[in-house]
A and B are shown apart, each in its own frame.
Chain A
Amino acid sequence: MSHDASANALETPTLFVPRRKLLFTGRRAIVASVFSSLLILGAIIAVFYLAPGGASVRYFFFNPHQMWQSFTGNPSKGLSSVGAGIITNIWMFCVCEVMVLIFGLLIAWVRMSTSAVLFPFRVLSTMYTDLFRGIPILLVIFMVGFGLPALGLGFLSTQSPAVYGCISLTITYSAYVAEVYRAGINSVPNGQLLAARSLGLTSSATMRRVILPQAVRTVIPPLLNDFISMQKDTALVSTLGAIEATRAAQIYASTEFNFSGYVVASILFLLLTIPMTRFTDHLISKDRVKRLAAAQ
């Protein structure tokens, strides 16, 4: 036994990776990645050019002239501008964002309250989050957009479709965001609560000064994720007839029999969401680095 062990120790163990794994390292790795990227890009382009319907897809979806015309719009032909439409999406999103941040927090706060007086509100807020996380947003838009005007409630029933869209988005996303807040509040260690209460802070001062500032930091990335999908969901308001980017593209398609407007609208949405997505990922990785550093 001891003889075996000493014999093993004398053998030099191999520490090199196998040769086949060395094929793509160093400069060869760069060459390989450029080559594979070109190959895949080429394959996609080839599909567009060589597919039996390639030419018509290029004409109906990626026609530069049609794309430009749909972007700028053409009043003489009764064509709405997709470029102007996206402005509607942007303001709807901006308004909803602020409303959702406020309502979401309110709902989360009520749901986590312990006061006996707030008991009915606690039940209501729980029902609210269950309800509106469970109903497809399109249905909420229909119900609000066609229901509120039908009620004949004066001021409330005479708003534009975009306003009803904002109300629907706010209602639905507040439910999601309330849950995000709640998770953030629960993630703050209990010791923080104990320390704040033992300093004699009231429960609401503890929430405002100690728990929420820490919770908000952890929920920023998931919150931004919800905002990215809300940005896109402003397109659903087109179903109520609000002339936003999607609706303008739809009008364009049905008038000119060309779908290039949809591609333009997609590009405009991407211009909005990609910076936000990158920013969110940046925050997430920054947060991870910070956590790793703190763990050491």
Chain B
Amino acid sequence: MSDVVLDLQSVTKRFGDNEVIRGVSLQLHRHEVVCLIGASGSGKSTLLRCANMLETIDGGDIFLFDQSLSDPRIDPDLVRRNIAMVFQSYNLFPHLSVLENILLGPVFALKRKRSDVIDEAMALLSRIGLSERANDFPERLSGGQQQRVAIVRSLAMQPALLLLDEVTSALDPTLVGEVLDLLRDLAQSGTTMLIATHEMGFAKDVAQQVAYLDKGVLVEQGTPEQMFSNPQHEVTRKFLERA
């Protein structure tokens, strides 16, 4: 079995006449962290949603573990149980406690026994230092705490791949650190991640590959060293100077 988890092949996505993804190809290997950088509106979020089948693509193909997602026999729910996604606005469920938020996926999507999952969920919460807040409702937590809960909620699904969509963009600057620390921790323990981010320092630290998107085109891709010290394209250089 090959090492490739996710393989995007000239993916194209249109909203009406507006082509937001233009022939993007990208590979993600097991235990690899790839950061997508680029201005707002460059198509980073849309690309992540396409990978999770929250959007349907208009051209090209996406392979997850060598299986084409455009195959009509593919069950999107099964795809999403293997790919977890974390959103910019956390999207915790406000009517459920922190613990119930984490249990929801494993219990109602994976049909696992609640009593089996509780220990795992509590272990995840203590990993982020929030085990004492298990029975609180999300609105009682700070933004940083909510986002960390959202991240472990997706980890509870034991996904093969984690998609993170600008997870620190909605946070106060003082709260960004705690979320990035958790992601660094995850990267070190070998979680495969595709991260859309505006945090260049973070991308430099954790990514094996950095990909720069501009107006839906994947302009350039390389190791952080290549990308940040010696970008090949003029647009990339300009973007990195501004960032």
Contacts and interface: CB of A to CB of B under 8 A. Distances in A.
Interface of A: 189, 191-192, 194-202, 205, 209-210, 213-214, 217, 294
Contact of A200 (B81, B92, B94): B81
A198 B95 contact: no
Contacts of B84: 198-199
Given A199-B154, A200-B81, A209-B104, A194 B109 contact: no
Contacts of A294: 139
B222 interface: no
23 contacts: A191-B87, A194-B54, A194-B87, A195-B91, A197-B54, A197-B77, A197-B80, A198-B52, A198-B54, A198-B80, A198-B83, A198-B84, A198-B85, A198-B154, A200-B109, A200-B110, A201-B105, A205-B109, A210-B93, A210-B104, A214-B93, A214-B95, A217-B95
Contacts of B15: none
Given A198-B84, A199-B84, A199-B104, A191 B91 contact: yes
Interface string B50-90: 00101000000000000000000000011011011101010
A209 B109 CA distance: 11
Contacts of A200: 77-78, 80-81, 105, 109-110, 157
Interface residues of B, number: 26
Give the interface centre of B89, B93, B157 by most chain A CB atoms within 10 Å: B93
A195 B92 CA distance: 8
Contact of A199 (B78, B94, B109, B139): B109
A133 B88 CA distance: 41
A199 B80 contact: yes
Contacts of A192: 91, 93
Q: 6 closest pairs, A vs B, by CB?
A: A200-B81, A195-B91, A199-B105, A200-B109, A191-B91, A198-B85
B32 to A, nearest CB: 21
A201 B104 CA distance: 9
Contacts of B94: 214
Given A197-B80, A198-B154, A200-B77, 17 more contacts: A189-B91, A192-B91, A194-B85, A195-B87, A196-B104, A198-B83, A198-B84, A198-B85, A199-B80, A200-B78, A201-B109, A205-B108, A205-B109, A209-B104, A209-B108, A214-B95, A217-B95
Contacts of B139: 294
A195 B157 contact: no
A201 B108 contact: yes
A198 B78 CA distance: 10
Give the interface centre of A189, A195, A217 by most chain B CB atoms within 10 Å: A195
